[in-house]
Amino acid sequence: MKVWSVAKVNKERAIAMANKLEIPPLLAMMLDIRGITKEEDVINFLQENKDFSDPFLMKDMDKAVERITTAVENGEKICVYGDYDADGVTSTSLLYSYLRDSLGADVMFYIPTRTGEGYGMNKGAVDKIHSLGVTLIITVDNGISAREEIDYANSLGIDTVITDHHMPSGAIPKAVAVVNAHQQDDKSPFKDFSGVGVAFKLVMAIEGEYADVDSLLENFSDIATLGTIGDIVPLVGENRTLVKNGLRHIQNSDRIGINAMKQESGIAEKEINSSNVAFTLVPRINAGGRLGSSEKSVNLLLTEDEDEAVTIADKLGMDNRERQSIEKEILASIDEEVRRTPNIVNDKILVFAGRGWHQGVVGIAASRIKDIYDKPTIIIGIDDDGVARGSGRSVEGFSLCDAVFACSEHLTHYGGHPMAVGISLEKEKINDFRKAINAYCKDIKMPYNILHIDCKLNPNQLDLSILDCLSYIEPCGASNPSPIFGLYNMTIIATKEIGNGKHMRITLSRGQGQVPVYAVYFNHNFQSCSYRNGDIVDVAVSLDRNIYNGQENLSVIIKDIKYSQSNNEELIDSERIFDKFAKRYKLTKNEVMSILPTRNDFAYVYRFLKQNKGFIYGEYALVNALNYKISMGKLIVILYSMKELGLINWQQGLYQSIVEMKESGKVNLEDSVFIKKLKEGI
């Protein structure tokens, strides 16, 4: 359950800007919402900007260039050491191809396997690289935490140049050069690059003072765009310049591998934007590393053989579909665990672990669970040999990497940034880690999972002209999100499952005589969506262009739904009080009273459930059906007490919460142990 936040806009200022610069008023308002309010900033945002800061402002860039140039001139063997995700794959591809094709270097690349080796450098890999005669390792998208591994490489006579964008944790490794804008004494003005962005800056630096940036963008911005979008870094500043150029080159690509991937994924004839790159191309690049080796993803981006490109693209498409199937299995296992031990979801940070859960898919599963419960989530897969590796995703405003770093005593390896983390630990330490990370945030008021709405929209305004206007905001992504509009007080008049039951088409109307709105709700079906025909709802939507039978249509894509009467903030606060009680944290008297039901509250809920022969749509829908006369926390207490007293069966799961009535005689509410424990806090 998300808290909706409608952006504030200075309409008078936006209209004045629209008139002055002769741009559409809606575009001016979208820019105003994003804080782009000065004439100079608006012009810079909208125009084709190819300005990059001096790469030598990055700490150690001069040392990195000197060591790499020396290695090339002396014919030393160089290894580009990458990572298995889209950012690591593209970083590897970009730097390797530049060193090989532009400088004629003796260069190889190495990407560790996710399941066998895990993230970052490892000593076994260093041994392999050493045996091949490598004297210089250049890391891309990793290395900032590889202190021991780089010391080991030094002992073997291998120099290392680190290029990374992850937050440093502890001492900086003793490499020849460490290029990372997050170092304290780094002077570069832009610090939010992905790994491939840092690699691009390195190439700029090697090219020297008179680097032909236009040529570099033409050669590498398509690859850089895939990694930049894939790593969800802010699409502002120099990242925006990279991606804006890259989208154009992906649209009209002469890179055989990218064209093969576009064809296999079904977007070859579509307009390329940041959204279909993020949800279509990036998952395929990631799929290779998630299920096996990332080498084929690198080869796809480097190949000049059309048959090879088609073969690899088809294989990555198959890998992506297999990944989706594995993800579904992991979520089904978590669903079973929640049904067995529903108390687990009362934690502030959710931690799930399972044997055999694929290391390459746990991060995506964590993102799904985070969206369901609106809580930071870490999911850990345990290998047959007992090695446990996990991946976590956070909500805006809570630094998950800080929480993980605070619990490092339980971990053997860890890293990441505020919104995403990776960890390794012994399987015996999982419960200790779960307790420690929740103890860390015990006294922290966790932020709401916020859904940012740009503005309310009259459904009669929905047409393709809006997309023509919004195209100027592209590329969209982190820090420059795709606009989301709120359609308020809409009545659901029809629902239908589509895509073999994976998605829903929901038909909405503002009222009699109004043109209906046909919207798609991806990754939701009748099981996971509690809304029914006749419900009055607010709908948050994004807009896209769809071409069907040669005709352009407006696609309305649902991002979230809430009941129009609902105050989600109050519901969440009430549920969090119950969470505190469930985890045996001390409540204030006011908190106890806010979730302690009266006999009349019990009677009201019981009568409703009996009249309706139970309820299958979940607690949020039940609060709405009860006309918000019962708070969320109080309702959960009532349901637990009714279950304890044998009045109902209550099955809680990821997607569905079902209440079934049971045949029973009279019961005494005072017999509920649940209620007795709650009253102890008064």
Give the CA count within 13 Å in the CB-facing half-sphere of 546.
11
pLDDT tens digits, 594-634: 999 999 999 999 999 999 999 998 999 999 999 999 999 99
Of 60-64, 131-135, 284-288, the range with the lowest mean pLDDT is: 284-288
Tell me the chain's radius of gyration from C-alpha atoms: 27
Whether the pLDDT of residue 585 is over 70: the answer is yes
Structure tokens at 249: 């080159």
pTM: 0.85
User: Helix/strand/coil (H, E, C) string of 6-39?
Assistant: ECCCCHHHHHHHHHHHCCCHHHHHHHHHCCCCCH
By the 8 A CB rule, do 331 and 654 touch? yes
Whether the pLDDT of residue 232 is over 90: the answer is no
**Cα separations in angstroms, 402 against 407, 427, 568, 571:** 9, 22, 27, 28
Long-range contacts of 399-403 (CB under 8 A, 24+ apart): 400/349, 400/376, 401/167, 401/169, 403/349, 403/376, 403/437, 403/440, 403/441
pLDDT tens digits, 459-502: 988 988 898 888 899 999 888 889 999 999 999 999 999 999 98
Whether the pLDDT of residue 154 is over 80: the answer is yes
**Residue bearing the bigger pLDDT, 225 or 44:** 225
Residue type for 477, please? G
Of 50-54, 230-234, 450-454, the range with the lowest mean pLDDT is: 50-54
- Mutual angle of helices 213-230 and 237-251, in 10-degree steps: 100
Q: How far apart are CA 585 and CA 86, in angstroms?
A: 42
Three-class SS of residue 221? helix
pLDDT tens digits, 23-65: 999 999 999 999 999 999 999 888 876 689 999 999 999 999 9
By the 8 A CB rule, do 424 and 416 touch? no
Interior angle at CA 217, CA 211 and CA 223, nearest 5: 130
By the 8 A CB rule, do 482 and 476 touch? yes
The residues with which 177 forms a beta bridge, in sequence order, are 161
In the β-sheet with 106-110, what is the strand arrangement from edge to edge? 106-110, 77-81, 134-140, 159-163, 177-179
Residue range 175-195: mean pLDDT, rounded? 95
Distance in angstroms between the alpha carbons of the first and the last residue of the chain: 29
Query: Would you state the pLDDT for residue 304?
Result: 94
* Nearest alpha carbon to residue 254 among 296, 293, 219, 282: 219
**Cα separations in angstroms, 37 against 42, 197, 297, 456, 482:** 7, 27, 41, 20, 18
321: buried, middle or exposed (CB in 10 Å: 19+, 13-18, 0-12)? exposed
Query: Would you state the pLDDT for residue 511?
Result: 77
Spell 547-559 as b/e; 16+ CB within 10 A means b: eeeeeeebebbbb
Three-class SS of residue 509? strand
By the 8 A CB rule, do 593 and 614 touch? no
